[in-house]
Structure 1
């Protein structure tokens, strides 16, 4: 900093005031200092500045799957919001592993992040302890954690799946297979509740043999679909609770020699960029990704701006059923459509 001051013919205090934003510097002096910084190639010591200012201007963000298009899109929106606010984002991917998540959160806190955004995995007991002991604001993304008093942004998953399954029922489907992830996170629990609610509202039984676990991944979605298609009385429609699993489902339908939607209808949770270029085009539940990312960032930025003592806020957004041509009507419904 001394060399910058000498080159710009100003005091070290003036250079420090401009770099750290601690005082107003005249346009003329600012221009001289900025030119001196460029000429010398001066780089600020971010660690030293963080220790002095008590802030790193850095946010920690953990997600379970960066390859899942939903999280990819949400991360992009969040990063853009923090870029505009002058923050950097440190991203960690847990791959749905509880120990990895907890290690990564501790690592982010060791790096002195100013705040955390967490799409949690597994049991929330350890996360609860970390959040309560961390001296930084935390926002939960996509997944709630019972007993953790912090801001949360989620989708109304139960209603979204209820609407999707009701749509299949209205098309005449009565045996609807359901591929789910594990129930240790709130979205899967709520989506399953929506599936059950829709069947019960239509007076249909909830059959355990029609529910299979896909573990969030394509290969497990493939295996789950093979199990459903091997049933003596196989389902006429399949709903996948996320988009990686539906890719596996479509591959299984192809490999067994069936056709969608002629032989079996398919719908899934989460829209993704190529869902409308699939053949057939996939019927999906679309999440408001832009709103989810922006609201998550805004909640944390509000806390960082000093609103630390306000009660925890939970924002619940709504999904949208995107009807395309991967589902066909059956029975009397099909006859009335053709008529």
Structure 2
């Protein structure tokens, strides 16, 4: 992760800050940087120490001021351990490089407060624009940061309503409908859902798509078959154990992202349940590990590279003035990847006793 020179106050370090810390004139700092032979060894040592302490990058800063551009884009992701975001980072960095930009990467770890701090720091570092995969939980201070940002912001994967920002997202309702419908077509009527937080657009929309698919097939929506697992592996593990201990457990489970699919598969294995013989499994996000599982995991694939490419294009168009006015949300389509983890239901599995120790 790359950072520019910023004071604790959030302001960019200047040559005057270096001069003040070193106890010398601005001219002495300038000479030390540009013509060191004109400065005594003692003064030069003091200035260099101050430059190191403040992490001052005079030439880069000067170029930024002359060009009115830093050549930097900020990228904030919600969870760098999630293979989806890892792939998104690779896509954004590759496309940004083609446009002549370097990328500053920040990880919020699904923490709204940390995300807000990252936004403040990136704004203070004179990045030319920010791509944000938000935690999705709205707050007045963060909404203000985004709506009043002096640099363009493009949302990716998750959106905020009402801010007028460009956003690139999956058609999450359709993706969840597609996943649930695939299980219904296999003959399942009791389908569990491991959902993300409904405070996040991806969580809310995937829950809505799941529910709509059930109702479209005249199946009853049962809230008891839904567990919010926070898009996290361990929470999904625990939620899967809960579902399988129900008096009438589901014969199939839809995980709303890849990390939850990993937690679910681990839980099923620890519970002694076979996939797909006892429980069919499907998830959103196609990732390299989907082929490592046995059985191989059926997924709903997102066009991650296209998502990153479009986000960078929208952002650079904003930076260059080619795109102005209120932003819009761009929806991308998903793709069903059929592998081995879904089958027709056999006899409904017996509930797992609460005394079991996975």
Report the TM-score range of the alignment, normalised by the length of the smaller protein: 0.7 to 0.9
Distance 1:98 1:75 in 2: 19
Query: 1:307: how far off?
Result: 2.3
8 Å contact from structure 2 (residues 278, 345) kept in 1: no
Summarize the Cα distance change of 1:314–1:48 in structure 2 as closer, same or farther, 3 Å threshold: same
Count of aligned positions: 294
Query: 1:44: how far off?
Result: 7.8
Distance 1:125 1:187 in 2: 21
8 Å contact from structure 1 (residues 64, 96) kept in 2: yes
Distance 1:330 1:195 in 2: 19
Residue number in structure 2 paired with 1:148: 163
Distance 2:86 2:211 in 1: 29
Distance 2:143 2:78 in 1: 17
Query: 1:133: how far off?
Result: 1.8
Query: 1:67: how far off?
Result: 1.1
- Corresponding residue SS for 1:267: strand
Deviation per residue, 1:136-186 (Å, 9 max, x gap): 111011111011111110110001110111110111101001001111110
Are 2:245 and 1:217 aligned?
no
8 Å contact from structure 2 (residues 254, 281) kept in 1: yes
8 Å contact from structure 1 (residues 150, 313) kept in 2: yes
Query: 1:226: how far off?
Result: 0.1
Query: 1:82: how far off?
Result: 1.0
Normalising by structure 1, what TM-score?
Answer: 0.83
Residue number in structure 2 paired with 1:11: none
Higher mean C-alpha displacement, 302-311 vs 223-232: 302-311
Query: 1:126: how far off?
Result: 2.9
1:71-82 equivalences in 2 (<5 Å): 71-82=85-96
Query: 1:311: how far off?
Result: 3.5
Query: 1:119: how far off?
Result: 1.0
Instruction: Kindly report structure 1 stretches of 4+ aligned residues shifted beyond 3 Å.
Output: none
8 Å contact from structure 2 (residues 233, 262) kept in 1: yes
Residue number in structure 1 paired with 2:182: 167
8 Å contact from structure 1 (residues 128, 147) kept in 2: no
Are 2:281 and 1:266 aligned?
yes
Where in structure 1 are there 5+ consecutive unaligned residues? 7-42, 333-339
Of 292, 300, 309, which residue of structure 2 is paired with 1:277?
292
Are 2:301 and 1:286 aligned?
yes
Residue number in structure 2 paired with 1:50: 64
Query: 1:124: how far off?
Result: 4.9
Distance 2:157 2:94 in 1: 18
Distance 1:97 1:77 in 2: 23
Distance 2:173 2:139 in 1: 21
8 Å contact from structure 1 (residues 181, 214) kept in 2: yes
Query: 1:290: how far off?
Result: 1.4
- Corresponding residue SS for 1:274: helix
Where in structure 2 are there 5+ consecutive unaligned residues? 1-29, 36-56, 348-358
